[in-house]
């Protein structure tokens, strides 16, 4: 999340822990807390304090490149 070029963004997604084979493993996520979790974002909700839930995907670029 720190690598994102925006200070104010809200993403929807889910945390996933993986087993040794690389497959998602829910039990490792809720287990003893020793698993490393990844966040998979699948929806952009807010960008730079602007609600973008109703914006069509091709229109994201002008919003995201404004200073």
Could you tell me if 23 and 15 are in contact, meaning their C-beta atoms sit under 8 angstroms apart?
A: no
- pLDDT-based confidence at 33, cuts 50/70/90? low
Sign of CA dihedral 64, 65, 66, 67: positive
Domains and CATH numbers, the chain: 9-64 (3.30.470.30)
pLDDT of residue 60: 55
0.95 exceeded by the pTM?
no
Q: DSSP readout, the chain?
A: -TTSS-SSEEEEEEEEEB-TTS-B-HHHHHSSS-S-EEEEEEEEEEETTEE-TTS-GGGHHHHHT--
- pLDDT-based confidence at 64, cuts 50/70/90? low
pLDDT of residue 62: 55
């Amino acid at each position: 999340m720190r690598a994102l070029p925006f200070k104010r963004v809200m993403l929807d997604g889910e945390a996933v822990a993986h087993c040794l084979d690389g497959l998602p493993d829910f039990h490792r996520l809720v287990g003893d807390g020793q698993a490393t979790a990844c966040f998979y974002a699948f929806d952009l909700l807010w960008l730079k304090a602007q609600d973008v839930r109703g914006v069509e995907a091709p229109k994201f670029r002008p919003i995201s490149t404004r200073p």
